Amino acid sequence: MKRSQLVTAMGVAAATVGGATALRRFGRKPSPRDVVRSHYAAIQTRDWVRLKTLTSNNVEYRDPDVEVRGREEMLSRAQQLESAFSDVSLQANIVGGNGHEAVAEWKYTGNHSAPMRLPDGTVIPPAGRRISVKGMSLFQVQDGVVTAEHTYWDNEALHSQLQAIGEKAAVEA
């Protein structure tokens, strides 16, 4: 069986929706859960091109430190957060949602291996130690793309881990 026949047989095809490529299953628009799963897969693999295709031009993004509007601004924030960490594990579980919404609980772990720039301009030097943070995200999805993402995590715990790592690195230097 040819690949194209196999893909058709599985009921999966790519389609362009609202200026973005979205996964279509069984001849229907992707559900918000499908889009969010693809979103997290793109972050896990740092596939910024794929993440861009899953995001609306005018996406609204919020986390404990920033609020931005626009695809490029959201991608810049994601890259800023990801650039400080290597050997990353992002475990996401879609726990709810209906209509145009999806809710995910997640756990992010990684080695703090590059400088971490905080929104206030503070730079925490890398120490090569692992951090771990749990959070939750609420997504709005329209026409197969994320139009809003509101992400929450324990910022005090994350900053405490980063400060402890930064203070240890400063003492060892």
Does 37 have pLDDT greater than 50?
Answer: yes
Helices (DSSP H) in the chain: which residue ranges?
A: 3-10, 32-44, 48-53, 71-83, 155-172
Does 12 have pLDDT greater than 70?
Answer: no
4 — pLDDT class (breaks 50, 70, 90): very low
Q: What number of other Cβ atoms are within 10 A of residue 96's Cβ?
A: 11
Does 14 have pLDDT greater than 90?
Answer: no
pLDDT of residue 107: 96
Query: What is the residue type of 116?
Result: M
Distance of CA 116 to the CA centre of its chain: 17
Question: How far is it, in rounded angstroms, from Cα 143 to Cα 62?
Answer: 21
CA distances from 133 to 22, 62, 110, 121 (A): 29, 17, 9, 21
Could you tell me the pTM of the whole model?
0.76
Write out the two tokens for 122. 């503070």
Closest by alpha carbon to 158, among 114, 110, 120, 113? Answer: 110
CA distances from 165 to 117, 150, 151 (A): 14, 27, 24
Q: How confident is the model over 39-98, as pLDDT tens digits?
A: 999 999 999 999 999 999 999 999 998 999 999 999 999 988 889 999 889 999 999 988
Q: How confident is the model over 108-131, as pLDDT tens digits?
A: 999 999 998 877 888 888 878 899
Residue-range domains of the chain with CATH:
32-172 (3.10.450.50)
